[in-house]
């Protein structure tokens, strides 16, 4: 069985230069170098007030084939309130691509995203009648499990990561679909991942669960490694209140936790981690 572990020791924090007590804007910047074997993406999704949904992902390459050279592209997918799905993969010219290492600031030709953990500006120039100009403003606090790294193999040779930059936020702006542009508003989410092994090769399965109320935001990322890694389970979970303060978080042993959260909610039971 190959070793795997959540990288959360003092040595790990020092190695990656991250603060165990707070998340800083540079952590949502370019974290890898696009070398063969490594991949990285910045993921955004939005649930709009009219029932539509938007997903936008900035990739440095196809994560299913990380051994290939860098080939950045942007995905935009829109599910209209009617249920109709629209999608484009947008590949800019090589000379029009930049990734900042100081903060989230990505330019791929006419498409871009820039933000600082609190506010993000996203622009997807319309292609085939599909595009967006959106602002995402965080209503929460960023979170990561330990350093954000899960190591695999001897000396953590390979790794998979998760930085939940915006667990919940307000989104507004303009959406272009089928050539028509309209003003939109709703709620949004953003996370950032990078690694050296394709997710479908290292994980047996996972559950990704999100629920937001007026007073609380709950996120669960419950991952189970494949047989080569002993089906090791990483039950990552956190609960934040309306001010973005952590009410509960867990990354380890399975169990049951019960605690008071509000008058309106006499108790909240979590069956994931403690």
Query: Which of the four pLDDT bands, split at 50, 70 and 90, describes residue 259?
Result: low
Residue 169, pLDDT > 80, answer yes
Q: CA–CA distance from 211 to each of 108, 168, 216, 231, 259 (Å)?
A: 32, 9, 8, 26, 18
CA dihedral 203, 206, 212, 217 (to 10 degrees): -60
Q: Which of 152, 162, 237 is nearest to 202 (CA)?
A: 152
274 inside domain: no
CA dihedral 141, 147, 149, 150 (to 10 degrees): -110
Q: Which helix (H) or strand (E) holds 221?
A: strand 216-225
273 inside domain: no
Q: What is the pLDDT of residues 66-114, one digit of tens each?
A: 999 999 999 999 999 999 999 999 999 877 899 999 999 999 999 999 9
The pLDDT score that the predictor gives to residue 272 is 40
Range of the domain at 112: 4-210
Query: Which of the four pLDDT bands, split at 50, 70 and 90, describes residue 254?
Result: low
The pLDDT score that the predictor gives to residue 1 is 66
Mean pLDDT of 156-165: 97
Would you state the structure tokens that stand for residue 163, as one six-digit string? 């930085």
- As for how many domains the chain has, the answer is 1
The pLDDT score that the predictor gives to residue 257 is 56
Q: CA–CA distance from 245 to each of 22, 166, 232, 248, 264 (Å)?
A: 12, 13, 29, 9, 18
Count of all residues that appear for the chain in the document: 274
Would you state the structure tokens that stand for residue 225, as one six-digit string? 């490694």
Per the CB < 8 A criterion, the answer to whether 43 and 57 are in contact is yes
230 inside domain: no
Q: Which residue has the higher pLDDT, 55 or 273?
A: 55
Mean pLDDT of 126-154: 98
Would you state the structure tokens that stand for residue 223, as one six-digit string? 């991952």
How far apart CA 61 and CA 104 sit, in angstroms, is: 17
227 inside domain: no
The pLDDT score that the predictor gives to residue 263 is 40
13 inside domain: yes
The pLDDT score that the predictor gives to residue 253 is 63
243 inside domain: no
What CATH number does the domain containing 65 carry?
2.40.370.10
The beta strand positions in the chain, using DSSP E, are 4-6, 39-48, 53-59, 73-79, 85-90, 97-99, 104-108, 111-115, 119-127, 130-138, 149-152, 158-161, 163-177, 180-195, 203-212, 216-225, 233-241, 246-250, 257-259, 268-270
Mean pLDDT of 224-244: 96
Radius of gyration of the chain (CA): 19
Q: What is the pLDDT of residues 195-219, one digit of tens each?
A: 999 999 999 999 999 999 999 999 9
pTM, rounded to two decimals = 0.92
How far apart CA 183 and CA 174 sit, in angstroms, is: 4
242 inside domain: no
How far apart CA 81 and CA 218 sit, in angstroms, is: 25
How far apart CA 66 and CA 68 sit, in angstroms, is: 5
92 inside domain: yes
């Amino acid at each position: 069985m190959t070793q795997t572990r959540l990288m959360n020791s003092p040595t790990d924090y020092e190695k990656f230069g991250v603060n165990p007590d707070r998340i800083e804007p540079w952590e949502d910047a370019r974290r890898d170098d696009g070398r063969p074997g490594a991949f990285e993406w910045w993921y955004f999704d939005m649930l709009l007030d009219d029932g539509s949904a938007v997903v936008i992902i900035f990739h440095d390459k196809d994560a299913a084939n990380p051994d290939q050279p860098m080939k950045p592209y942007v995905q935009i997918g829109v599910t209209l309130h009617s249920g109709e799905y629209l999608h484009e993969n947008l590949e800019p010219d090589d000379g029009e691509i930049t990734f900042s290492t100081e903060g989230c600031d990505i330019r791929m030709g006419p498409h871009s995203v820039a933000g600082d953990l609190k506010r993000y500006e996203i622009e997807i120039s319309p292609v085939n009648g599909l595009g967006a100009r959106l602002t995402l403003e965080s209503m929460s606090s960023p979170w990561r499990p330990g350093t954000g790294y899960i190591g695999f193999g001897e000396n953590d040779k390979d790794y998979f990561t998760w930085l939940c930059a915006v667990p919940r936020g307000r989104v507004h702006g303009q959406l272009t679909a089928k050539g028509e542009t309209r003003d939109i508003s709703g709620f949004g989410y953003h996370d950032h991942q990078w690694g050296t092994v394709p997710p479908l090769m290292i994980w047996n399965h996972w559950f990704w669960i999100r629920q937001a109320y007026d007073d609380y935001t709950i996120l669960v990322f419950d991952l189970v490694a494949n047989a080569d890694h002993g089906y090791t389970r990483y039950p990552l979970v956190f609960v934040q209140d309306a001010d973005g303060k952590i009410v509960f978080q867990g990354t380890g042993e399975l169990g049951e936790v019960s605690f008071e959260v509000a008058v309106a909610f006499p108790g909240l039971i979590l069956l994931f981690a403690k």
